[in-house]
Amino acid sequence: MIEHHELLLVVQAAEQGSLAAAARALDLEPPAVTKRLAALESRLGVRLFHRTTRRLALTDEGELFCARARELLAGLASLESELQDSVSEARGTVRLASSFGFGRRWVAPALAGFQRAHPHVEIQLHLMERLPDLAAAGFDAAVWLWSPRRASTVTRKLASNRRVLVAAPAYAQRHGLPRAPQELAQHACLVVREDEAKSTAWKLAPVDGRRGGPVTVQVHGALSTNSGEVARDWALAGHGIMLRSLWDVHALLAEGRLVHVLPEYAMLDADVHWVLPPRRPGSAVPLRLRLLQEHLARHLADPPWLQPLPGTATEGVSRRAGPASARPTPPRRR
């Protein structure tokens, strides 16, 4: 009889492309994987893989075996999940990662509500500047403001969000506001530098999709930081134009403490995502994680930052710029 671990071995070897990589994914020593695969092929009387020093490829029999193995593993995982749901309640520990600002303001209150509803679940929230390798760092999941680029990572969008341009009314009164993205180069821009990046390019896309493609503008400013909250404080003090997520500035826009600059454009890369580390084929997502994901999705289903924005400028604010009018005068650099 074919064993569960043999199904996993063949699927991992096919997906990883080498026995060494499959061994790492299964937390086994490479010789053990080689020995188990050879024993399986000998018992079945067929070769499942063509093996060379550089390449591992499924045979025709291997393709059939792998396809059926995936179906069986998925069925077992579904059965396990259904049994867990029917006989137990959520329990255990969830180690969750999130960014500092969004995690503190939006994720933390939602987690407190979830824990009250599920008293046997312990939640450890870790706030950090950048998304870690979840599996390597021992995290069960993350709530993050963009979709990770790792192909093996499992993500689900929880809420829409975007980064918008804002400035204080005082800055707008003194220097005017740009009328096109290219005119940002003439203004003092407050730059948030991520991962020690040297580039200060802002890639803005039309919000309605009817104004052409994205526009990349190289911006400049005497003030830059690795903290979005510091940049927000500078913007409120009238030191320049900032690019910041709607979740953070929507209330300030509604109160009139900031004005929306170039509302036709935004950086559309900041949606809120639920992120899971890669999982072994056939492994079920624990009930506590599935329930937490559903809870966060409900909590963020109608976020206040997606409500209609107020006016884009205060009364009497000039939108100076362009060849037919006076250029805005950026603050003097010292």
What is the tens place of the pLDDT at every residue in 22-38?
888 787 888 998 999 99
Check whether 254 has a pLDDT greater than 80.
Answer: yes
The pair phi, psi for residue 63, each rounded to 5°, is: -60, -45
Q: Residue 91 in contact with residue 39, Cβ under 8 Å?
A: no
Q: Residue 272 in contact with residue 300, Cβ under 8 Å?
A: yes
pLDDT the model gives residue 25 = 78
Minimal CA–CA distance to 217: which of 179, 181, 264? 181
Q: Provide, rounded to the nearest whole percent, the portion of the chain with pLDDT above 70.
A: 83
Q: Residue 48 in contact with residue 30, Cβ under 8 Å?
A: no
pLDDT digits (tens, 9 = 90+) for 172-193: 999 999 999 999 999 999 998 7
pLDDT the model gives residue 329 = 44
Taking residues 127-139, report their average pLDDT: 84
Give the number of residues written for the chain: 334
pLDDT the model gives residue 198 = 57
Taking residues 252-276, report their average pLDDT: 92
pLDDT the model gives residue 281 = 64
What 3 state SS string does the chain have? CCCHHHHHHHHHHHHHCCHHHHHHHHCCCHHHHHHHHHHHHHHHCCCCEEECCCCEEECHHHHHHHHHHHHHHHHHHHHHHHHHHHHCCCCEEEEEEEEHHHHHHHHHHHHHHHHHHCCCEEEEEEEECCCCCHHHHCCCEEEECCCCCCCCCEEEEEECCCEEEEECHHHHHHHCCCCCHHHHHHCEEEEECCCCCCCCEEEEEECCCCCCCCEEEECECCCEECCHHHHHHHHHCCCCEEEEEHHHHHHHHHHCCCEEECCCEEECCCCEEEEECCCCCCCCCCHHHHHHHHHHHHHCCCCHHHCCCCCCCCCCCCCCCCCCCCCCCCCCCC
| Residue 251: count of CB within 10 angstroms of its CB | 12
Give 320's pLDDT tier (boundaries 50, 70, 90). very low
pLDDT the model gives residue 270 = 86
pLDDT the model gives residue 65 = 93
Structure tokens at 309: 């924005």
Check whether 330 has a pLDDT greater than 50.
Answer: no
Check whether 312 has a pLDDT greater than 60.
Answer: no
Check whether 61 has a pLDDT greater than 70.
Answer: yes
Q: Which residue has the higher pLDDT, 202 or 282?
A: 202
Average pLDDT, the chain: 83
Check whether 230 has a pLDDT greater than 50.
Answer: yes
The angle formed by the CA atoms of residues 37, 39 and 41, to the nearest 5 degrees, is: 70
pLDDT the model gives residue 149 = 66
pLDDT the model gives residue 315 = 37
Check whether 316 has a pLDDT greater than 60.
Answer: no
Give 150's pLDDT tier (boundaries 50, 70, 90). low
Structure tokens at 52: 């060379």
Q: Residue 11 in contact with residue 2, Cβ under 8 Å?
A: no
Check whether 296 has a pLDDT greater than 50.
Answer: yes
Taking residues 87-97, report their average pLDDT: 83
pLDDT the model gives residue 317 = 41
pLDDT the model gives residue 278 = 81
pLDDT the model gives residue 64 = 93
Q: Which residue has the higher pLDDT, 194 or 244?
A: 244
